[in-house]
Structure 1
Amino acid sequence: MRFAAALALLILGACPTEICRAASDVVSHIQWLSADAPAHKSKGPSYGITELLIAFMDSEWPQVQHQLLTANSKRSWQMIGSGEPACHTTAVHTAEREKLAYFSDILLVLPAQLIVNRAHLAALPLNTKGEVDLPQMLRQGNLQGALVEGRSYGAVVDAAVASRPAGESLKFFSSQGFGDNVLQMVLKGHADFTVDFDVALRTLDERGIVRSQLVGLPIQGASEPLVVGIACPRNAWGLSAIRQIDKLMSSPAGLGLLRSAGTRWATPEILRIYGPRLEQFYKERSKLTHYP
């Protein structure tokens, strides 16, 4: 209630017509990149916000043509890196990616976790808190892992993966959606572990896939929520696009969309632990834009 009252007091407009028109002089078309296929194509629920986001942009920024392009992480970042007129809808915000893209932060998500077949629990190096020592596990090399190529799992996990010893204990695969193909590999015993987010496991539940043999464990050092943002190329087109996107996402209507979409990712347990931080995130989001 307090948050709703605060929003009611905001006088920010969603997108003043003259400002939108100025941005549209440069930005006439945006390809919205997402690895999460629309719900009607994936034949199951979608936990992404892409469809909601594009509908919102169509309504609030009609001067621009908005088009969805389903693409895996590798292809998306190739397009952004080459400066194409495309923006990723939900990209983990990392310092490395800032070299390629401008970001407008829109979500906080739980940190990634190690997802392992229950049969291999005894082989994991755990600390006293039950967290997996990922660098040590990769050094041991006794388990076969599978990750999504081009995807970020947060700074801690990315660093551990980048510094792993040479060898075949970790392989990368192209995958769309929330890494469904890779999760299925672990489920079927074709890989021993992967790294993914809680929401990915819930997509299996919602699609009626029995995954009782999969266990999600926290990763040592990766306990902070991750910031997810919209990412546009770091060039003149991308700056013009991200400025308007940023303003729209800071408006009352934009914040309402983000809060609604955020609940799709959250369970009651998540809200219990991270609820105050989520409220603070949206409060700060309402007060500023990254690119004035």
Structure 2
Amino acid sequence: MPTLLRPHAGVATALALLAQAAAAAEPEVQWLRYELPPLYITQGPLQDRGVLDQALARLLPRLAGYQHRIVTVPPKRMEASLRSLPNACAFGMLKNAERESFLTFSTPFPIHVAPGLMVRRADLAALAPLRDARGRLSLQGWLNNPELKLGLAEGRAYGAAVDDVIAALPAGRVERLSSQNPALNLLRMLELGRVDGVLMLPFEPAALAAAHGLKLDELRLLALVEQTTARHGHVACARGELGAAIVRRANTVLAEPAWQQGLSSGSASP
């Protein structure tokens, strides 16, 4: 019977060190996210079980050769980090002209959730002339009243059409919040009359009400004329060799029919 040779302890240690060195040599990619249930859930009993959390968990094993680290940041710091960190990426991000100047974007995948404007129910009658036959509100028409103030989350994109309308506003017309949970604070500001309307995604009010005991009876979310129901999310990485390589690999995965189907139902973007 042949004798089984066991590696000398020194050899085993050397092999382990080599394996560690090989892992350490793999470039690290930081995947940035912020609290946005049900897309990203960063705390509580459902932590990491958001729609995009789970999709990202499926994607990362397909991007071998890198060390992947998921990092939770406030919304405002997320975009600043994507600008400054050469190894930063985000999953499910909307594309706009400003972001294209410092990010490399993957091919798009469809998103079927569009933002609306949350207003006080007491204001609905005055808004009737600004709504079309389908009940959608003209955001531009609403903002033509210089006395109205808009609330939104700092660093967030709402889709190119809505973002263009916001970009044309003077700073004093917009209340931008950058807290850990800006949507919650914006709803409270709307109730108190500190803002007159808040941009939100359709799933946010109910999720916030359930988590924080909010009463939404006196508020109403209106769909917007400017925004179609279909948008597109992307893998977005800081411009550079590393980001371009990650995006190329992601494009291969995103092109698979199973991914297109899985990401097209009920998803939205930061």
Bigger CA drift: 71-80 or 224-233? 71-80
Aligned pair partner of 1:202 in 194, 203, 206: 206
Residue 250 (structure 1) aligned with residue 242 (structure 2): no
What does the per-residue CA deviation read over 1:159-187, in whole Å, with 9 as the maximum and x for residues that have no partner? 111112x3633211104468333233324
Query: Taking structure 1 as reference, are residues 248 and 176 closer, same or farther at Cα in structure 2, changes over 3 Å only?
Result: farther
**3-state SS of the aligned residue for 1:67?**
strand
Aligned pair partner of 2:116 in 109, 113, 124: 113
State the shift of 1:190 in Å: 3.7
Aligned pair partner of 1:75 in 77, 80, 102: 77
Bigger CA drift: 110-119 or 91-100? 91-100
Query: Taking structure 1 as reference, are residues 58 and 99 closer, same or farther at Cα in structure 2, changes over 3 Å only?
Result: closer
Q: Which amino acid aligns with 1:179?
A: A
Matches within 5 A, 1:253-272: 255-256=258-259, 259-260=261-262, 262-265=264-267
State the shift of 1:87 in Å: 0.6
Question: If the length of structure 1 is used for normalisation, what is the TM-score?
Answer: 0.70
What's 1:102 paired with?
A: 104
Residue 126 (structure 1) aligned with residue 118 (structure 2): no
**3-state SS of the aligned residue for 1:179?**
helix
Retained in 1: the 8 A contact 2:237–2:247? Answer: yes
Distance across 1 between alignment mates of 2:52 and 2:71: 10
Residue 60 (structure 1) aligned with residue 49 (structure 2): no
Question: If the length of structure 2 is used for normalisation, what is the TM-score?
Answer: 0.75
State the shift of 1:53 in Å: 3.4
Aligned pair partner of 1:147 in 143, 149, 152: 152
Distance across 2 between alignment mates of 1:143 and 1:47: 37
RMSD across aligned C-alpha pairs, in angstroms?
3.1
State the shift of 1:34 in Å: 0.8
Retained in 1: the 8 A contact 2:187–2:198? Answer: yes
Structure with larger Rg? 2
Bigger CA drift: 147-156 or 242-251? 242-251
Q: Which amino acid aligns with 2:115?
A: A
Residue 230 (structure 1) aligned with residue 235 (structure 2): yes
For structure 2, list consecutive stretches of 5 or more residues without a partner in the other structure.
Answer: 1-22
Distance across 2 between alignment mates of 1:242 and 1:162: 28
State the shift of 1:214 in Å: 1.8
State the shift of 1:57 in Å: 3.8
Aligned pair partner of 2:167 in 127, 150, 162: 162
State the shift of 1:42 in Å: 4.2
State the shift of 1:114 in Å: 0.9
How many residues in Structure 1 have an aligned counterpart in Structure 2?
239
State the shift of 1:31 in Å: 0.7
What's 1:93 paired with?
A: 95
What's 1:16 paired with?
A: none
Retained in 1: the 8 A contact 2:113–2:266? Answer: no
For structure 1, list consecutive stretches of 5 or more residues without a partner in the other structure.
Answer: 1-23, 267-292
State the shift of 1:146 in Å: 1.1
What's 1:239 paired with?
A: 244
Query: Taking structure 1 as reference, are residues 88 and 157 closer, same or farther at Cα in structure 2, changes over 3 Å only?
Result: same
State the shift of 1:264 in Å: 4.6
Distance across 1 between alignment mates of 2:30 and 2:172: 36
